[in-house]
Amino acid sequence: MNHELIFSAVGITAFIGWGALALAPRNRTFTVTIARCVSLLLAIGYGAMFALSWGEGAGMDFNSLAGVTRTLSSPGHMLAGWIHYLAFDLFIGAWETEEAAKLGMPHFVLLPCLALTFIFGPLGLLAFMGARYFWTIQVRDA
């Protein structure tokens, strides 16, 4: 199994979903649907990679940091973990986009949150929650 090829393929696949969210602000329902479909495709890839790498390395141990380090030292397990991140972060980005549309939040307010979610995952979610809070106050008080 060529882990590098799979790594490249899932990265390109995820980028399609992120590109839809970032570059097509006028039809958010359509872009959210694309991103969710890509996220589900990545979830299927995660399941397949997880199953294919089951017997690799020293096995899986999530009971300690040392155990997780050993588990992720296997290329297959690390790749499965990477796909896990890609799928979940994209799903969160789609949710942020959907929420922003419901609130009438402009795309330029959403974009930095999406960029942070793409790169730093939970920090982007935190940024979006802050932006959502302040946008809601601004709209409510207007």
Give the per-residue SS3 of the chain: CCHHHHHHHHHHHHHHHHHHHHHCCCCHHHHHHHHHHHHHHHHHHHHHHHHHCCCCCCCCCCCCHHHHHHHHCCHHHHHHHHHHHHHHHHHHHHHHHHHHHHHCCCHHHHHHHHHHHHHHCHHHHHHHHHHHHHHHHHHHHC
Which pLDDT value is given to residue 57?
Answer: 67
pLDDT per residue over 54-99, tens digit each? 877 667 788 999 988 988 888 999 999 999 999 999 999 999 999 9
pLDDT over 90 (residue 114):
yes
pLDDT per residue over 6-34, tens digit each? 999 999 999 999 999 999 787 888 999 99
Q: pTM for the complete prediction?
A: 0.91
Which pLDDT value is given to residue 105?
Answer: 93
CA distance 115 to 142: 28
Which pLDDT value is given to residue 50?
Answer: 87
Domain total in the chain: 1
Which pLDDT value is given to residue 53?
Answer: 86
Which pLDDT value is given to residue 28?
Answer: 87
Which pLDDT value is given to residue 10?
Answer: 97
Do 103 and 132 meet the contact criterion of CB atoms below 8 Å apart? yes
Which pLDDT value is given to residue 27?
Answer: 84
Residue ranges making up the domain that contains 11: 3-141
For 28, the token pair is: 């958010």
For 5, the token pair is: 């090829």
CA distance 5 to 97: 30
CA distance 35 to 41: 10
Angle (CA) 69 13 21, round 5°: 105
Q: Decide which of 140 and 21 is more confident.
A: 21
